[in-house]
């Protein structure tokens, strides 16, 4: 599976590793060190973010970094060690948009198995329409549903989350959405 760059050297001793099925009952190939026997596991990453709303409008950020430079996204990024999914979502909203929010419940859990990622978006209520975007963001602004730049959304996980969000809003009930992207 070519999800990630292969590991070439052992994290413990620096020797060149080889991909093989370990002898411990495992069924998958792992990067195994022939010198010190360290097994290197590679696992999916969580991306955590928010759907920050102020009345009818939602906050999007124009990306100042690759990939998808110049495209629009919900504030989101890789979950870090030592934080919860909700804390990570709040941190990313602060870092990317400089937006002050009250965090709400989990809204979408989007699996993206072909890149080994799980994206989790929380509902959030903005305290104001004043934003202080960080270096990863060109511009942060509010969009009503009919203003969303659907052709310039950075990621499918963001698009599907926004689609479900506005659909739920119309139906009057915001639920949890578990979605698998092929």
Give contact residues for its own copies (rule: CB under 8 A).
1, 3-5, 7-16, 25, 28, 40-46, 78-87, 105-106, 109, 111, 113-114, 116, 118, 135-136, 176, 178, 180
| CB 137 to its own copies: min, Å | 12
Nearer Cβ to its own copies, position 55 or 175? 175
| CB 33 to its own copies: min, Å | 10
Nearer Cβ to its own copies, position 95 or 145? 95
CA atoms within 13 A of residue 36's CA, in its CB half-sphere = 11
* Chain mean position to CA 2: 20
Alpha-helical (H) ranges within 29-155 are 85-97
| CB 171 to its own copies: min, Å | 18
- Indicate the SS3 state at residue 21: coil
Task: Tell me which H or E stretch contains 162.
Answer: helix 156-171
Q: What span, in angstroms and rounded, lies between the C-alpha atoms of 23 and 3?
A: 24
Nearer Cβ to its own copies, position 41 or 150? 41
| CB 68 to its own copies: min, Å | 17
Nearer Cβ to its own copies, position 57 or 156? 156
What dihedral angle (degrees, nearest 10) is formed by the CA atoms of 159, 162, 168, 174? 120
């Amino acid at each position: 599976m070519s999800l990630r760059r292969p590991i070439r050297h052992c994290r413990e001793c620096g020797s060149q590793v080889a991909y093989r099925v370990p002898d411990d009952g495992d069924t998958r190939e792992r990067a195994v060190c022939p010198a010190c026997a360290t097994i290197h596991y590679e696992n999916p990453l969580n991306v955590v973010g928010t759907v920050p709303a102020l009345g009818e409008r939602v906050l999007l950020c124009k990306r100042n970094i690759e990939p998808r430079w110049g495209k629009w996204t919900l504030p989101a990024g890789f979950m870090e060690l030592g934080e919860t999914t909700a804390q990570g979502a709040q941190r990313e909203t602060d870092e990317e948009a400089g937006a002050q929010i009250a965090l709400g419940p989990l809204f979408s859990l989007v699996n993206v198995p072909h890149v080994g990622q799980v994206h989790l978006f929380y509902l959030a209520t903005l305290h104001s329409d004043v934003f202080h975007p960080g270096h990863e963001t060109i511009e942060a602004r509010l969009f009503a549903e009919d203003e969303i730049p659907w052709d310039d959304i950075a990621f499918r996980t963001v698009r599907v989350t926004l689609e479900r969000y506005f659909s739920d809003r119309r139906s009057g009930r915001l639920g949890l959405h578990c979605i698998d992207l092929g």
